[in-house]
Structure 1
């Protein structure tokens, strides 16, 4: 899934080698007669209501993205956000696992575990440090064509806070398959040539990834003490259903104004109408949880709708100007926004559950990716770095996704990165940060590697003095490869608000998984 508040980053750094030959760790391209297994992927939507102290309730919506490890085990990323009640902006993110037992073709049972972090909207006593644990047991019916419908019971607990709640839930799952290979291929531009053998190349479907900057003007009632205007920074992903209709998912956080800590996670869709060569008008609508930063979204569920003009600048890149209206389903939240987006166009192969012949990869490029499950601890580097508990360090959990622009067989490799983390310890529940940027990865002898990266984005909440919310971070790290897919990496760095007193040293540890996907040229 995907991180939460996002922004833009530039990096320029150099990692010195020892002069000995670096050991290559890349895989070779598949042989023409190879069969590549596909990976089952599931998108889930969950609804439940938590019981809080003093008789208060909070409706929560959860979104998860699962990857099948085998027929019984799934691993994934998940986020939960308040959508009913009085605490809009209470949002968590984390990792999850699930065991599934199939009783028949239609019926199955599940046992799940989620470990995450977050909080928000005046909920620091509720969330404490921010660590969230959720277990669940459920029963599901597979409609085969329209997805899976399920229900069950979950238990949620914040060990450092006061939330401990057991409740029923309902859930919807939609499954599909994706083509992924463990490890990195030696060439990110190499593809298999089917020649005259007659193997039909895989069909592809268009997708877009966008960096988004948005200026939002809210009504005076919605702005509360934070004022009526804020600037957001984030990311957006869209997937085409056909040549005109598309689905979209976006996440944005405040990085300007007086609303640091505000964030929104929206899902929806739209219609694209070509109007001239390379130009199109897009109509879109979405909804999802939002709040924080003293912005009054009440229950937390908001809607966003608008129109955008998109113009291709190159074959794979566009600029987009968007105007829209936003509003809440409860409370006084309403306003309008003006956004500018840089859009990257690509396509993804459509596959089923059967293995794919390597010959069918003709016309596709290998895309080397990396997922990092990260732990970072902030130690204050300024007296007023926190408005509360200034002597306590803050520990965060999160996920980092990297895309490598350089072939894996080169000693020096450049990558771009998107990262989302949330506090789980240090009485800073509700602090979250979403960053984007880039870095350099340098191979060293003996399966070791060194890295440096620079990032910028939005961060706030939990009593950290991030000003308007714009933060920058620099990390340097040393890692060791355990296998073709897995590595472990330790990092040290510095994070600071660009317009605030927040400054901290950063110590990190990450478990790293390398994989390769394929995209149309």
Structure 2
């Protein structure tokens, strides 16, 4: 009898742990947006054409919130960029016709524009039409760089919105792994979506325009999202860290073709992109740039590839022309499902993502004019957890108060985060980032900074946290050497990464 009872208990424990269920799939609805407005500039200057790239989460069936970038693509202010937060309401008038009333608050500037400290507001009132696969809106908007800036006015804006939803699970499930058989019995038994993320170093060898004969060294990232196994679209951003005065950056959006060979160990990608770029004394006129490129990738291990690329970055009228050469490290991920026509999977692991929107304050930030003044900036940071505690991170920031409207950063690094304590409400983090920064008269030399920090997260809901930090920022070759404070919100979740 005792042996039978012991055997039953042993089998019960085995059964309990071997039948672990995959976390439930939750769909986060959202949409990407491209918009355009032409801003009237002061003192008889030609209009500055402004285009935006945004991503918004649907909070419910009538409201949304998110983040967005703007960049100059026409006029004489190439290199003018901003980052900000969005919030809005969409209400249907008919089944297809709707109103879109929203608000954007951000910071940025550049190219010698009268942007003051960089803070601005951009509300809009639009009428839209739903074409099922995309939405088109147009209407009235108002812009005001209110912190000592001189850019203010109303204008018509137009926008295209495309649904971009993704599947999530709880952030607490990160690094949990499940077999293919277990996932087949769950609601993750669906087609996977393929993406890639690359961090890279690029050289711009300028052949025409300002800095002709010079090499501008850039650091940045590229995100690819595959529509099919061959075709993809990408977003790419870079900032200068050496070769010229700090301040140059570009943001590009485009598409490409992907060819795999050598049993998927070698890839060739041909890409074409358009976008905005300038700053740091690089004269791109209105800022509109085109970017043809070809790259070769070789597998190193698992889903990690080394990449080499060659192409051109230029204005359409060849006022500015540069030849590009870069190297990068790329990570591929098949996410949100376990089915694929060309790839087979044996298991899946949930990976953690933390998206942070915060406000930084640099105390007594040194200027090129040898004065010191506090500088504030709005900052977007994304953490990808490599395991349960260590994460890779990227951050971009734009000044919004403190008379440094053209200042911006693009930095990457590593961090570590603890388990939660105090009733599972609080965790601590430490991180070290470095990269390109400059503009706005902040003394960063040729643009390379390092930025260590520590801080705490306080859990508000399953996905939302308050975040505060303390750190230090130091420029190599410049006088910037400041204590840093920040506070903000973080939105975290995990996603399924299918493994071969």
User: Would you call these one fold, judging by a TM-score over 0.5?
Assistant: yes
2:16 alignment counterpart:
none
Q: Where do residues 135-214 of structure 1 align in structure 2 (5 Å cutoff)?
A: 135-145=123-133, 147-160=134-147, 161-185=149-173, 187-190=175-178, 193-194=181-182, 201-214=189-202
Q: Does 1:43 align with 2:27?
A: no
Whether contact under 8 Å (1:297, 1:331) holds in the other structure is no
- Mapping of residues 45-84 of structure 1, within 5 Å: 45-56=34-45, 57-84=47-74
Q: Report whether the alignment pairs 1:430 with 2:411.
A: no
Against the structure 1 CA distance between its residues 312 and 155, is the aligned structure 2 distance closer, same or farther, given a 3 Å change threshold?
A: same
Q: Is 1:285 aligned with 2:275? A: no
Distance in structure 2 (CA, Å) of the matches to 1:187 and 1:310:
27
What is the CA distance between 1:120 and its match in structure 2? 0.2
State yes or no: 1:244 paired with 2:230: yes
Contact 1:113-1:134 within 8 A present in 2 as well: yes
Q: Distance in 1 between matches of 2:95 and 2:180?
A: 36
8 Å CA contact 1:389, 1:427 repeated in 2: no
Residue of 86, 93, 117 corresponding to 2:83: 93
Query: Partner of 2:458 in structure 1?
Result: 480
Separation in 2, partners of 1:196, 1:47: 44
Cα distance 1:31–1:261, how it changes in 2: closer, same or farther (>3 A)? Answer: same
- Matches of 1:155 and 1:271, distance apart in 2: 39
Q: Distance in 1 between matches of 2:163 and 2:206?
A: 38
1:174/1:229 CA distance change after superposition, 3 Å? same
Label 1:441 to 1:228 Cα distance change in 2 as closer, same or farther (>3 A): same
8 Å contact kept, 2:359–2:378: yes
Structure with bigger RCO (C-alpha 8 Å, 6+ apart):
1
CA distance in 2, matches of 1:196, 1:70: 30
- Residue 437 of structure 2 corresponds to residue 450 of structure 1: no
Number of equivalences: 470
CA drift at 1:465:
1.4
Q: Which structure 2 residues correspond to residues 395-406 of structure 1 after superposition, within 5 A?
A: 395-406=376-387
2:351 equivalent to 1:364: no
**How far apart are the structure 1 equivalents of 2:135 and 2:310?**
36
Q: Aligned match of 2:323 in 321, 328, 336? A: 336
Cα distance in 2 for partners of 1:195, 1:173 equals: 33
Per the alignment, do residues 502 and 220 of structure 1 end up closer, same or farther by CA in structure 2, a change over 3 Å counting?
A: farther
Distance in 2 separating the partners of 1:389 and 1:141: 53
1:519 to 492, 497, 500: 497
Instruction: After TM superposition, give the deviation of residue 510 of structure 1 in Å.
Output: 2.3
Alignment map for 1:252-263 (pairs within 5 Å): 252-263=238-249
Name the SS for the 2:195 alignment partner.
Answer: strand
For residue 241 of structure 1, report the CA deviation from its aligned partner.
1.7
Q: In structure 2, do the counterparts of structure 1 residues 186 and 283 end up closer, same or farther at CA, with 3 Å as the change threshold?
A: closer
Partner SS for 2:31: strand
What is the TM-score of this pair, normalised by structure 1? 0.85
Alignment match of 1:129 (pick from 110, 117, 137): 117
Give the match for residue 104 of structure 2.
114
Residue pair 1:32, 1:192 contacting (<8 A) in 2 also: no
RMSD over aligned CA atoms reads: 2.3
Larger-gyration structure (1/2): 2
Counterpart Cα distance in 1 of 2:454 and 2:442: 23
* Contact 1:298 1:331 (8 Å CA) reproduced: no
Query: SS at 1:184's partner residue?
Result: helix
Structure 1 unaligned spans of 5+: 1-29, 352-360, 408-412
**1:240 positional shift:** 1.4
Label 1:292 to 1:199 Cα distance change in 2 as closer, same or farther (>3 A): closer
* Residues 1:157 and 1:437: Cα distance change in structure 2 (over 3 Å): same
Mapped to 1, the partners of 2:82 and 2:270 lie a distance apart of 30
Measure how far apart 1:362 and its partner are.
9.0
